[in-house]
């Protein structure tokens, strides 16, 4: 289980959460199940990695920090510790199924191989099917042995209330902007790049680092150019949709939805400095002038439905979906 190139480094905006965990441990109140909830990209999984490494560390008795060098820490970092189980959607699957949970329960029922605690991380926990969640619930109600469950949820409200009620909840809000920007600027070696990426990631620092590092910002600029071509009438919706598909369906939908939200703000009189895509201000202004407000609301609904379908279905005609969005965009020109 590895969350980062260096999972032992503590993120600066997690200080409050670590203090709370330390207080639970010191007072003998650490529960058998924790629910880490908050938006994606604020480091909940990384926190879980560090916490469970500390639980399985063979040198330190406290929950923070893990030593990073003992057998337990090395096995956790390599993802091969026999007393640590991770429950996540299987490759090519969108959900965590009941068979996965049943297998997990069988494994944690066994004696810990290294004689210490057993640890389980479920990520993202809201991806469990209803049947899977109900099966896990029985174990959370009557935990076997000395096992610690850590559930990581980006949308905790999607979890059954019964699951939430069996866990001690630890909140992970979007961090303070100055703290996040300072950390990201050091990671990217660019204060300006950090500010842009953090704004586009809606304040989530780890998502911002990914956006800045893997070419997604260039893909966003290409999508802006495509949208201008569509409203001018010199862009082929079919070909443009093909380019969006090459970008990646979820990435394309993310950028398109974010841009539509900005354009609705502009059409409703919001100032340009309030935009998510502030660095693309002139292009966004041109797009707003060329689009009809009612058409933008239709696009918003279409994109929300497309994203829901993309997250929930495997047999999806991605090209057809993106073509319909490109055609609707062209139809919405004022």
Q: Are residues 153 and 50 in the same domain?
A: yes
Ramachandran region of residue 115, left (φ > 0), alpha (ψ -120 to 50) or beta? Answer: left
Q: Total structural domains in the chain?
A: 2
> Could you give the CA distance from residue 319 to residue 315 in angstroms, rounded to a whole number?
12
pLDDT at residue number 314 = 59
For residues 36 and 135, state if they share a domain. yes
Write down the pLDDT at residue 125: 97
Diameter of the chain measured on Cα atoms: 69
Low-confidence ranges of the chain (pLDDT < 70): 1-8, 64, 313-314, 334
Q: Is 293 helix (H, G, I), strand (E, B) or coil?
A: helix
Among 250, 333, 321, 244, which residue's Cα sits nearest to residue 296? 333
CATH number at residue 303: 1.20.272
- Each residue's pLDDT tens digit, 49-79: 899 999 999 887 777 688 888 999 999 988 8
pTM of the predicted structure, to 2 decimals: 0.84
Query: Cα separations (Å) of 53 from 6, 62, 83, 330?
Result: 12, 11, 11, 52
Cβ atoms within 10 Å of 247's Cβ, excluding its own: 21
Asked whether residue 36 is assigned to any structural domain, the reply reads yes
Q: Distance (Å, rounded) from C-alpha 16 to C-alpha 334?
A: 50
Residue 115 has a pLDDT of: 77
Average model confidence (pLDDT) across the chain: 90
Question: Could you tell me if residue 190 is inside a domain?
Answer: no
Residue 136, domain CATH: 3.40.50.300
Residues 163 and 242 in one domain: no
Q: Which domain holds residue 159?
A: 12-171
Residue 52 placed within a domain: yes
DSSP code of 137?
A: H
């Amino acid at each position: 289980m590895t969350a980062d190139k260096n999972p032992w480094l503590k993120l600066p905006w997690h200080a409050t959460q670590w203090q709370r965990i330390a207080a639970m441990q010191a007072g003998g109140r650490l529960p058998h199940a924790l629910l880490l909830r908050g938006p994606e990209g604020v480091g909940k999984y990384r926190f879980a990695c560090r916490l469970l490494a500390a639980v399985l560390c063979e040198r330190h008795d406290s929950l923070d920090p893990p030593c990073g060098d003992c057998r337990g820490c090395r096995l956790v970092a390599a993802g091969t510790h026999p007393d640590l189980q991770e429950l996540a959607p299987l490759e090519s699957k969108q959900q965590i199924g009941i068979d996965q949970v049943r297998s997990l329960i069988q494994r944690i029922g066994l004696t810990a191989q290294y004689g210490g605690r057993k640890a389980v991380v479920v990520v993202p926990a809201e991806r469990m099917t209803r049947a899977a969640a109900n099966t896990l619930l029985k174990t959370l109600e009557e935990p076997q042995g000395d096992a610690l469950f850590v559930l990581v949820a980006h949308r905790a409200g999607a979890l059954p209330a019964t699951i939430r009620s069996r866990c001690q909840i630890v909140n992970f809000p979007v961090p303070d902007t100055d703290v996040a920007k300072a950390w990201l600027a050091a990671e990217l070696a660019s204060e300006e790049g950090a500010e842009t990426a953090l704004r586009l990631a809606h304040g989530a620092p780890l998502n911002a680092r990914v956006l800045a590092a893997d070419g997604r910002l260039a893909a966003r600029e290409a999508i802006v150019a495509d949208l201008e071509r569509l409203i001018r009438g010199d862009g082929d919706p079919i070909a443009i949709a093909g380019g969006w598909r090459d970008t990646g369906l979820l990435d394309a939908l993310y950028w398109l939805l974010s841009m539509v939200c900005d354009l609705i703000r502009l059409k409703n009189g919001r100032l340009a400095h309030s935009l998510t895509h502030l660095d693309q201000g002139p292009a966004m202004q041109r797009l707003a002038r060329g689009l009809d407000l009612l058409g933008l609301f239709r696009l918003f609904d279409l994109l929300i439905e497309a994203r829901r379908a993309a997250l929930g279905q495997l047999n999806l005609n991605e090209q057809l979906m993106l073509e319909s969005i490109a055609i609707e965009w062209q139809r919405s020109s004022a």
